[in-house]
Structure 1
Amino acid sequence: MKKTLILETDYMTLGQFLKEINVISSGGQAKWYLADTSVFVDGELENRRGRKLYPGMMIEVPEEGTFFMAKKEESADEAE
């Protein structure tokens, strides 16, 4: 299943991402999850919980799906 995750900031770490999609319950679990599970960032195997994820990147998590990182669109009020 393909999903889009909207970034509220410039980037998000892989550990934060895994917590955001409810794969882990705390950031400390990211290291162990990545040691046991093959997670791909832009098609490459990634095991660093601190890997920065930027808009335009694709993350594949087994049993969870494929996620696309997107930047939050500014509303007209925020741009002024």
Structure 2
Amino acid sequence: MAIVFAVRGDYIQLDQLLKACGLVMSGGEAHRVVEAGEVSVDGKRENRKRAKLRPGQRVRLADQEVKLVSDERGAD
């Protein structure tokens, strides 16, 4: 079952997302797993630690998947 994460604004950086979802404990750990090729975005390995992710994308680390959705509360 995927984790659903609401993106506030236009995007979230990959390292920030991994921390916000609790998939890693620190920014340093986020950077290590990305550099090691353990993270994929939309089925493709992602090696940019600060890749800008937008609603509609899916991120996978090990057996965990995160589905990004739009945070409608930000649209006033």
TM-score after normalising by structure 1? 0.79
CA–CA separation in structure 2 for the residues paired with 1:67 and 1:23 = 10
The answer on whether the counterparts of 1:38 and 1:61 sit within 8 Å (CA) in structure 2 is yes
Which residue in 2 is equivalent to 1:31?
31
Asked if 2 retains the 8 angstrom alpha-carbon contact of 1:35 and 1:47, the reply is yes
Q: CA RMSD in A?
A: 1.9
Question: Which residue does 2:53 correspond to in 1?
Answer: 53
Q: Deviations over 1:27-65 (max 9, x none)?
A: 2332212233521101110121110000111111113x2
Aligned length: 76
- Percentage identity across aligned positions? 30
Equivalent pair of 1:5/1:67 in contact (CA under 8 Å): yes
**Is the CA contact (8 Å cut-off) linking 1:37 and 1:62 kept in structure 2?**
no
Conserved 8 A contact 1:12-1:52: yes
1:73 aligns with 2:60: no
The one-letter code sitting in structure 2 at the alignment partner of 1:18 is L
Q: CA–CA distance in 2 between the matches of 1:62 and 1:37?
A: 11
